[in-house]
Amino acid sequence: MAASNESQGLKIAVAVFVTLTVILAVTSYFLYSSYARSEGLLASEADKASKSRREADEALTQYDEFRKTIGARATEFDPAKTEIATHLKKVEDRLLGIANMVNASVSRAQAAGAQGPELEDAKQKVQLAIESFKKEPNKNYISALDRLVELLENLSLVDAELAANEAALRNNLESATSVAKDQISVQSKSAEGTRADLEAEHNKHEQERQVLLTKVDQLTTDLDQARTDIANLTTQLRQTKEEDGRKVDQLTAILREQRDALDKTANVLDRPDGRITFVDFDRNEVHVDVTRQQGARPQMTMTIFDQGSPGIPTEKPKGSIMLTQVGDRFSVAKILKTNSPIEPMRVGDIVYSPSWSPNEPMKFALIGKIDVNRDGRDDRDDLKRMIEGAGGSIEYDLPPPEVGKESGKLSARIAWYVTDDVKERPPLRDTYVAKSDASIAQQALFDQRFGEMVKEARQNGIRPISLGRLLAYLGYDMNAPISGRSEAVDDRALQRLTEPRTKNNEAQPTPPAEGAGMDEQP
Say yes or no: 362 and 413 in one domain. Answer: yes
Mean pLDDT, the chain, whole residue set: 77
- Minimum mean pLDDT range among 25-34, 359-368, 478-487: 478-487
Say yes or no: 467 and 376 in one domain. Answer: yes
CB of 294 within 8 A of CB of 268?
no
Is 394 within the bounds of a domain? yes
Residue 488 confidence (pLDDT):
58
Asked if residue 268 has pLDDT above 60, the reply is no
Task: Using pLDDT thresholds of 50, 70 and 90, give the confidence band for residue 14.
Answer: confident
Distance between CA atoms of 136 and 153, rounded to whole angstroms? 19
What global pTM score does this model have?
0.38
Say yes or no: 396 and 321 in one domain. Answer: no
Residue 178 confidence (pLDDT):
77
Asked if residue 517 has pLDDT above 60, the reply is no
Residue 331 confidence (pLDDT):
93
Higher pLDDT, 40 or 258: 40
Say yes or no: 279 and 301 in one domain. Answer: yes
Asked if residue 46 has pLDDT above 80, the reply is yes
Task: Using pLDDT thresholds of 50, 70 and 90, give the confidence band for residue 31.
Answer: confident
pLDDT per position as a tens digit, 428-476? 777 777 778 888 888 899 999 999 998 888 888 888 888 888 887 777 7
Is 375 within the bounds of a domain? yes
Say yes or no: 390 and 477 in one domain. Answer: yes
Say yes or no: 385 and 343 in one domain. Answer: no
Strand partners, 288: 276, 331
Say yes or no: 360 and 478 in one domain. Answer: yes
- Three-class DSSP category at 277: strand
Question: Residue 166: is it exposed, middle or buried by C-beta count within 10 angstroms (0-12/13-18/19+)?
Answer: middle
**Mean pLDDT in residue range 359-375:** 84
- The last residue of one of the domains, among 48, 63, 78, is 63
Residue 122 confidence (pLDDT):
67
Strand partners, 407: 397
* Among 363, 364, 427, 436, CA closest to 401: 436
How many domains does the chain divide into? Answer: 3
Residues with Cβ within 8 Å of residue 32, at least 6 apart in sequence: none
Peptide bond into 481 cis (omega under 30): no
Task: Using pLDDT thresholds of 50, 70 and 90, give the confidence band for residue 335.
Answer: very high
Is 54 within the bounds of a domain? yes
Asked if residue 75 has pLDDT above 50, the reply is yes
Is 55 within the bounds of a domain? yes
Is 515 within the bounds of a domain? no
Asked if residue 398 has pLDDT above 50, the reply is yes
Residues with Cβ within 8 Å of residue 120, at least 6 apart in sequence: 106
* Among 452, 435, 439, CA closest to 398: 452
CB of 276 within 8 A of CB of 286?
yes
* Among 245, 256, 247, CA closest to 412: 256
Name the pairing type of β-strands 463-466 and 416-419: parallel
Distance between CA atoms of 380 and 400, rounded to whole angstroms? 11
Question: Residue 99: is it exposed, middle or buried by C-beta count within 10 angstroms (0-12/13-18/19+)?
Answer: middle
Is 382 within the bounds of a domain? yes
Task: Using pLDDT thresholds of 50, 70 and 90, give the confidence band for residue 520.
Answer: very low
Three state DSSP letters for 282-323: CCCEEEECCCHHHCCCCCCEEEEECCCCCCECCCCCCEEEEE
**Mean pLDDT in residue range 210-214:** 90
Is 402 within the bounds of a domain? yes
CATH number of residue 397's parent domain: 3.40.50.10190
Task: Using pLDDT thresholds of 50, 70 and 90, give the confidence band for residue 365.
Answer: very high
Residue 153 confidence (pLDDT):
66
* Among 425, 347, 360, 424, CA closest to 391: 360
Say yes or no: 298 and 363 in one domain. Answer: no
Say yes or no: 359 and 466 in one domain. Answer: yes
Higher pLDDT, 306 or 423: 306
Residue 230 confidence (pLDDT):
93
Is 434 within the bounds of a domain? yes
CATH number of residue 341's parent domain: 2.40.10.340
Higher pLDDT, 458 or 104: 458
- The last residue of one of the domains, among 324, 353, 382, is 353
* Among 175, 68, 66, 158, CA closest to 120: 158
Name the most confidently modeled range: 45-49, 201-205, 283-287, 493-497: 283-287
pLDDT per position as a tens digit, 271-318? 788 899 999 988 999 999 988 878 788 888 888 888 877 665 555 788
Say yes or no: 333 and 386 in one domain. Answer: no
Residue 269 confidence (pLDDT):
45
Residue 2 confidence (pLDDT):
60
Residue 73 confidence (pLDDT):
66
Question: Which range marks the domain in which residue 465 is found?
Answer: 355-483
**Could you give phi then psi for residue 432, rounded to 5 degrees?**
-105, 130
Distance between CA atoms of 108 and 167, rounded to whole angstroms? 15
Residue 38 confidence (pLDDT):
81
CB of 142 within 8 A of CB of 70?
no
Say yes or no: 384 and 447 in one domain. Answer: yes
Higher pLDDT, 503 or 121: 121
Residue 521 confidence (pLDDT):
36
Say yes or no: 284 and 326 in one domain. Answer: yes
Single-letter code of the amino acid located at 314? T
The stretches of 353-404 forming alpha helices (DSSP H) are 380-389
- Three-class DSSP category at 520: coil
**Mean pLDDT in residue range 116-122:** 67
